[in-house]
């Protein structure tokens, strides 16, 4: 069976600063501009996802372009699953055209080629090892001085458990990844550091059709002699810590936890040739911080935010799936409110 999935999404982000009488030059970008209609958005992201299975190989391509926060992220993953093994290769290219580092605007680019191999312990659990060959580059926009540039060779070993249901609007299950990675100067790497990471996600149904989603991520620098600037941990923006600006915080170590509570109003209802999959109210609470390894020794300096939003998912003509999600997010001890709006249109074929 061959499956094709293509996702095109558009994200709008608006902070409370957008309604002020005075706005800095360039803060608004016209999305549509005609003689009769003009619509401005202060921030926007276009995401494209494509999945295909060719000759038993899974091809997963995704790219994201943000024309305000100025970044382009592209990822291509090709894997060949066997009965007890997984073979694959991952290619990634990330460019941040205006990333803050030590209060200085920088251009950062990171490219890597990563072959990986996995052994299935059970149907849901596998041991995965990979070797990442990476080029990294960071330059100051103001002084045009090169802050960091070099080759990075990283060997990783991890154990992955995943029984999250795939391809569903409201999934359930658990995911736990534990990874240990080391940059080897002995293999030609110009860097030398060791990291340990833990990723956890749990989606349960505490009441009827209610969904509780819990996410935890921890990154700990076991040893850092020299680390690429592009490999720092970042928090802030639509992915994690939505109450703060994009990549507002960074450090060698990070701790993050988030809770989302979904309360669907309608599930699997039909109207004409449209199926309403769900319409839910979403509650969000997040807690996190970045810094050095010392953040694991103290219990202060955490950043926190809360949010309230909705999610709306429909399927049109059994072929086109549309999603709309919106939220209002507030950082604790901050007067600024941030608004997010995401629209995605998905088409898929099965054969």
The mean pLDDT of the chain is 81
Report which of 47, 39, 53 is spatially closest to residue 5, judged by C-alpha positions: 53
Q: Which fold has domain 76-231?
A: Porin (2.40.160)
- Token representation of residue 78: 């090709």
Is it the case that residue 89 has pLDDT exceeding 80? yes
The average pLDDT across 230-254 equals 90
Q: What pLDDT is stored for residue 344 in this prediction?
A: 66
How far is it, in rounded angstroms, from Cα 231 to Cα 43? 25
Task: Please calculate the CA angle 340-345-347 and round it to the nearest 5 degrees.
Answer: 155
Task: For residue 123, give both structure tokens.
Answer: 């149907």
Average pLDDT over residues 128-150: 94
- Say if residues 86 and 79 touch (Cβ distance below 8 Å): yes
For the chain, the C-alpha Rg in angstroms (whole number) is 21
Measuring CA to CA, which residue among 255, 257, 80, 264 is closest to residue 172? 264
Longest CA span, the chain: 64
Residue 299, Ramachandran bin (φ over 0: left; ψ between -120 and 50: alpha; else beta)? alpha
- pLDDT at position 268 is 67
Distance separating alpha carbons of residues 24 and 249, to the nearest angstrom: 23
Cross-strand bridge partners of residue 226: 192
Inform me whether the pLDDT recorded for 348 exceeds 60.
no
Beta pairing partners, 73: 64, 94
Mean per-residue pLDDT, 184-209: 90
Backbone φ and ψ for 248, nearest 5 degrees, come out as -70, -30
Residue 329 near residue 13 (C-beta atoms within 8 A): no
DSSP reduced 3-state for 296: helix
pLDDT-based confidence at residue 166 (cuts at 50, 70, 90): low
Give the residue carrying structure tokens 């074929």.
Answer: 349
- Bridge-based pairing state of the strands 320-331 and 337-350: antiparallel
- CB of 175 within 8 A of CB of 199? yes
Q: Is the pLDDT of residue 113 over 90?
A: yes
Task: Give mean pLDDT, residues 244-251.
Answer: 88
pLDDT at position 4: 44
Residue 107 pLDDT > 50, yes or no? yes
- Phi/psi region, residue 294 (left: phi>0; alpha: psi -120 to 50; beta: rest), is alpha
β-strand 253-271 against 211-226: which pairing, if any? antiparallel
Over pLDDT 90: what percentage of the chain? 47
User: Residue 341: which residues within 8 A CB-CB, separation 6 or more?
Assistant: 11, 12, 13, 14, 324, 325, 326
Give the position of tokens 């049109």. 316
Q: What is the DSSP string of 60-71?
A: EEEEEEETTTTE
């Amino acid at each position: 069976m061959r499956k094709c999935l293509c996702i095109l999404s558009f994200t709008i982000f608006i902070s409370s600063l957008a309604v002020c009488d005075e706005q800095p030059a360039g803060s608004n970008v016209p999305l549509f501009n005609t003689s009769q209609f003009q619509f401005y958005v202060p921030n926007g992201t276009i995401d494209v996802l494509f999945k295909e299975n060719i000759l038993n190989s899974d091809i997963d391509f995704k790219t994201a372009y943000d024309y305000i926060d100025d970044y382009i992220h592209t990822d291509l993953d090709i894997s060949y699953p066997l009965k007890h093994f997984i073979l694959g290769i991952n290619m990634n290219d990330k460019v941040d055209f205006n990333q803050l580092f030590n209060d200085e605007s920088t251009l950062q680019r990171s490219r890597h080629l990563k072959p990986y191999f996995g052994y299935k312990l059970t149907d849901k659990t596998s041991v995965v090892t990979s070797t990442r060959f990476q080029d990294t580059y960071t330059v100051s926009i103001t002084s045009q001085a090169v802050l960091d540039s070099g080759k990075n060779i990283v060997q990783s070993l991890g154990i992955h458990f995943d029984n999250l249901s795939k391809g569903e609007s409201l999934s359930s299950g658990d995911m736990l990844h534990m990874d240990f990675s080391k940059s080897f100067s002995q293999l030609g790497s110009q860097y030398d550091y060791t990291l340990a990471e833990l990723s956890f996600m749990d989606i349960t149904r505490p009441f009827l059709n209610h969904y509780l989603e819990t996410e935890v991520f921890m990154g700990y620098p076991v040893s850092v002699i020299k680390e690429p600037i592009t490999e720092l941990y970042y928090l802030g923006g639509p992915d994690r810590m939505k109450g703060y600006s994009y990549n507002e915080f960074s450090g060698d170590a990070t701790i993050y936890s988030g809770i989302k509570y979904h309360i669907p109003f309608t599930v699997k209802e039909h109207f004409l040739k449209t199926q309403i999959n769900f319409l839910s109210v979403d509650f969000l609470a997040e807690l996190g911080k970045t810094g050095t390894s010392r953040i694991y020794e103290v219990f202060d300096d955490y950043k926190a935010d809360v949010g309230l939003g909705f999610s709306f998912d429909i399927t049109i003509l059994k072929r086109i799936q549309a999603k709309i999600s919106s939220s209002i997010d507030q950082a604790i001890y901050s007067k600024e409110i941030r608004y997010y709006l995401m629209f995605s249109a998905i088409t898929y074929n099965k054969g």
